[in-house]
């Protein structure tokens, strides 16, 4: 069999791998539109019910553009952000070992949607030094199969990549699980030693409330979860 020329190799990769990546991107865009629809519905439903009990409990949805949505849930904000690139996993990753992927290696190429948790006051008072946390990453392939890397229930309820399809019901379950996580993830006061120093300029330039860094676990180290708290 004659050796493939460089031109033939380029065309083969364009018509297979590059075309597949376009399919993955389109599926991820479709999925993100579903998340927008679901998040809007969940915010409306929860907002009405919570408002009956306490008018101060505001739950709102904001479309932040093609690749981002925001859910404000009382004192928390959840931001869902879609990455525009397609990702592959190294050979040691669990999904590369599944029979589903071994049957077609292109099935492991995925789009990514990240979920971040911030304090709503960080945005309200423009506290640009405040910390937010990545609480989950959703990976979607060209067949709309997905798995989710995340904390607590986000990390173990949605990891059957071979069988899980990201349809509206699954998107709603992920949105609700994300809300539950951020509501249970409390703001702790940081250790005294972590916040005992403050520059004169930080007081003079603006208010103390704007400059002191705030995060739900700022200054704490968790031995079981060194990267981020449960």
- Burial (0-12, 13-18, 19+ Cβ within 10 Å), 189: exposed
Residue 81 in any domain: the answer is: yes
As for how many domains the chain has, the answer is: 1
* Most confident region among 34-43, 147-156, 181-190, 207-216 by mean pLDDT: 34-43
Residue 99 in any domain: the answer is: yes
SS3 74: coil
Position 2 scores a pLDDT of 81
Residue 33 in any domain: the answer is: yes
Distance (Å, rounded) from C-alpha 38 to C-alpha 148?
Answer: 17
Position 229 scores a pLDDT of 43
Position 20 scores a pLDDT of 97
Residue holding tokens 């809007």?
A: 40
- 128 phi, psi to nearest 5 deg: -70, -15
Q: Read off the pLDDT of each residue in 55-68 and give the average, rounded to a whole number.
A: 95
Residue 224 in any domain: the answer is: no
Higher-confidence residue of 217 and 132: namely 132
- Residues of the chain with pLDDT > 90, as a percent, come to 61
Residue 215 in any domain: the answer is: no
Distance (Å, rounded) from C-alpha 160 to C-alpha 170?
Answer: 12
Q: What pLDDT digit, counting tens, does each position of 155-191 carry?
A: 666 788 999 999 999 999 999 999 999 898 877 666 7
Contact 112, 80 (CB under 8 A): no
User: Which residue range(s) make up the domain with 46?
Assistant: 6-186
């Amino acid at each position: 069999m004659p050796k493939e020329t460089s031109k033939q190799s380029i065309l083969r990769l364009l018509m297979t791998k590059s075309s597949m990546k376009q399919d993955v991107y389109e599926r991820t865009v479709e999925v993100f539109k579903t998340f927008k629809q679901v998040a809007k519905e969940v915010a409306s439903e929860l907002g009405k019910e919570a408002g009956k009990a306490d008018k101060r409990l505001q739950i709102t949805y904001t479309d932040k553009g093609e690749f981002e949505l925001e859910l404000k849930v009382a004192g928390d904000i959840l931001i869902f952000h879609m990455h525009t690139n397609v990702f592959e996993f190294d050979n040691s990753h669990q999904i590369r070992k599944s029979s589903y992927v071994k049957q077609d290696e292109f099935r492991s190429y995925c789009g990514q949607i990240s979920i971040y948790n911030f304090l709503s006051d960080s945005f309200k008072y423009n506290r640009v030094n405040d910390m937010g946390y990545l609480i989950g990453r959703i990976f979607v392939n060209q067949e709309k199969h997905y798995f989710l890397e995340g904390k607590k229930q986000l990390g173990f309820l949605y990891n059957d990549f071979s069988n899980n399809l990201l349809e509206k019901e699954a998107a709603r379950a992920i949105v609700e699980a994300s809300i539950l996580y951020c509501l249970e993830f409390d703001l702790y006061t940081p250790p005294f030693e972590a916040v005992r120093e403050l520059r004169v300029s930080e007081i003079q330039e603006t208010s103390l409330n704007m400059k002191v860094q705030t995060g739900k676990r700022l200054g704490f180290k968790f031995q079981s979860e060194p990267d981020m708290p449960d």
